[in-house]
Structure 1
Amino acid sequence: MDIYSIIKKPIFTEKALNLKEGQNKVVVEVHPEANKVQIKKAFEELFKVKVDKVNVINIKPRVKRVGFYFTKTNKAKKAIITLKPGEKLDLIEGA
């Protein structure tokens, strides 16, 4: 799997921004089939920072009603990436 297809996008919720400021953690959406080792390697190569730990959360698809029909949302995976002490990610600082 390509490192550019593993990490999809950062997640900017209130909880994610509090984790960034307080505990030096970054929350990103990743490919559903990526594992922790692949996520860590891809994040270190893309952003040139040292990663301490990676936690993964699988998001199950939900059934939603759209008018008369029922559809499912897509399956997703989030990764909470803990950076080593002293490391900073400058790309997300302005958000």
Structure 2
Amino acid sequence: MLATADAQLTGTSCTTDFIVIPNPYQGGVAVNSDRFCGNGLVTTTTSSKPFVLTVVTDADETSGATPDNENRGFCLTYTQLACTT
């Protein structure tokens, strides 16, 4: 799901379940953190080589102050462009 910046969380707001996109850019502007979580992700690009997307989860959906039992996982649509010199 593409999102507005309001639905996306980054950085230290993402502590239990998040994805890591190295050296991210949004709208051509560098983002201060490589961690993303929340209810959506604004279109994000990176030119890091080799590209590695990291998924982090604590695998705990029921305990804690705010249970995550409504989560359904995530879907990520991406395009990998050919490397240029």
Task: Give 1 or 2 for the bigger CA radius of gyration.
Answer: 1
Structure-1-length-normalised TM-score: 0.26
State TM-score, norm by structure 2.
0.27
Question: Whose strand proportion is higher, 1 or 2?
Answer: 1
